[in-house]
Structure 1
Amino acid sequence: MPRFVVVLPLVPLVPGDEFTVADWPLHVTLVEPFLTDVAVADLAAAVSRIAGSAAPVRASAGEEAMFGRRRDVPVTLVRDGGELAALRSGALDALREAGVDLDRIRARSDFRPHVTRKRHAYLVPGEHISLDTLALIDMRPAEGAHHRSVIASWRLGDRDSDVSD
C-alpha cells in the first residue's frame, strides 16, 4: 500500500525531487507517514486546499530534545504561535475528507513540531525560520525503500501557486 507524508520543508522542494532517507532536507513533519489507497491526485487536491488557505509560518528553533522509541533521535523543537497545530488539524481534516484513514495519527495528542538533526544540517536554538511551502512526499517510490520522492508542493497562502505545475 502506498505511504505518504506531508511536510513543511525549510528549503524549496519541487515535484520530482528525490533524496535518500539519510539526505532528507530539513523539514517539519505536519502529518506523519500514513498508508492509503486513495488516489495521489485526490491526496494532492486535499493538501493543495490547505496550503492555499494557510499563511506562511514564522517560527524559531527552540530547545534540543531526543525523540524516537529509544530517545536516540536528536531534534530541535520549533516554537511558533500555534499556527503549526492549526495547520496540522486542517491537513488531517482535509485528508480524512479525501478518504484517508487517519485514526492512528488523529489519536496522537502529543504533536510537537520539530526538525530532526541531520549529519548535513541542523537548526541552532534561537534561529528564525520561515515555513512557506507544503509538500506531499512519497515514502515508497519506485527507486526503493531508502528513497523519497516529492509528489507535489505548494506555497502557503498562494491559492494560485501550485509549485507542482
Structure 2
Amino acid sequence: MSTFALIFPLSQIEDGTAFPVSQWPLHATIVPPFETPAGPTAIANTLRPIAKTIEPFAISGHHREQFGERRDISVTTLLPVDRLQTLHRLLSDAVTTLGAAPLEPQYHHHGFAAHITDNETDSFSIGEHHQIDQLTLVDMRTEQPGANPRALLTLDLGQETRHPAK
C-alpha cells in the first residue's frame, strides 16, 4: 500500500520535489492522506480527465484556527466552502474507486475543512485571494529516515497535464 494526498498548490511545485512537512510551500490539501494499492500512474489516469473538467477558481482566506488534537497547528480556513467541499468529495470518490482508504476518516467528507496550514515562514491571511489552477499528487511515504513528502505529478486544471516525476 502506498500513501498519497492531493493538494492545490499556491505556487509552482516542480514534480519530483520533496520538502520537510514544516517547509512545504503553502497549499490547500483537497484530499488528506489516503492509502491505496494503486500506483501513481493509475491515480494520474483516474484524475487526469477530472482535472480537465475543473476550471481554475479563486479561493480566499476566511478565518484563523488551530487544528490538530492539541490545537497546535495554525491554519487559515478557506472560501468558497461549498465549491471546495464539492471538489473534495469528487476527488475523494475518484481515488476510492482505486481502493483508497483515508488514513484519518474523520477529516474526509463531512469532516473535511478546507484550509491552508502555516509553514515555518509563511501563512495565508484572512481576506487574501489566490487563483487555484493546479492539482498535485503527493507521495506521503516518509517512513525511511530523511524521507519527506514528494510532489509526484501536477495536473493543470481545465487543461492538459505535465508528465509525472520518475
TM > 0.5 between the two? yes
**CA distance in structure 1 between the partners assigned to 2:163 and 2:6 by the alignment:** 14
Structure 1 ranges of 4+ moved more than 4 A: 105-108, 141-146
State the TM-score, normalized to the length of structure 1. Answer: 0.88
Q: Do 2:37 and 2:98's aligned partners in 1 also have CA atoms closer than 8 Å?
A: no
**Is the partner of 2:111 in helix, strand or coil?**
coil
1:110 positional shift = 2.2
**1:163 and 2:153 correspond:** no
**Deviation larger for 27-36 or 45-54:** 45-54
**1:79 and 2:74 correspond:** no
**CA distance in structure 2 between the partners assigned to 1:127 and 1:146 by the alignment:** 32
Quote the residue 1:37 is aligned against.
37
Change (3 A) 1:105 1:67: closer
Q: Do 2:81 and 2:114's aligned partners in 1 also have CA atoms closer than 8 Å?
A: no
State the TM-score, normalized to the length of structure 2. Answer: 0.88
1:133 positional shift = 0.5
Change (3 A) 1:79 1:37: same
Query: Identity across aligned pairs (percent)?
Result: 29
**Is the partner of 2:15 in helix, strand or coil?**
coil
Quote the residue 2:51 is aligned against.
51
Q: Do 1:8 and 1:133's aligned partners in 2 also have CA atoms closer than 8 Å?
A: yes
Aligned CA RMSD, in angstroms, stands at 2.2
Change (3 A) 1:127 1:8: same
The size of the alignment, in residue pairs, is 163
Structure 2 gaps, min length 5: none
Change (3 A) 1:99 1:70: same
**1:137 and 2:123 correspond:** no
Quote the residue 2:12 is aligned against.
12
Quote the residue 1:22 is aligned against.
22
Quote the residue 1:2 is aligned against.
2
**CA distance in structure 1 between the partners assigned to 2:108 and 2:10 by the alignment:** 27
Change (3 A) 1:59 1:29: same
Quote the residue 1:120 is aligned against.
121
Structure 1 gaps, min length 5: none
Quote the residue 1:147 is aligned against.
148
**Deviation larger for 130-139 or 104-113:** 104-113
1:81 positional shift = 5.8
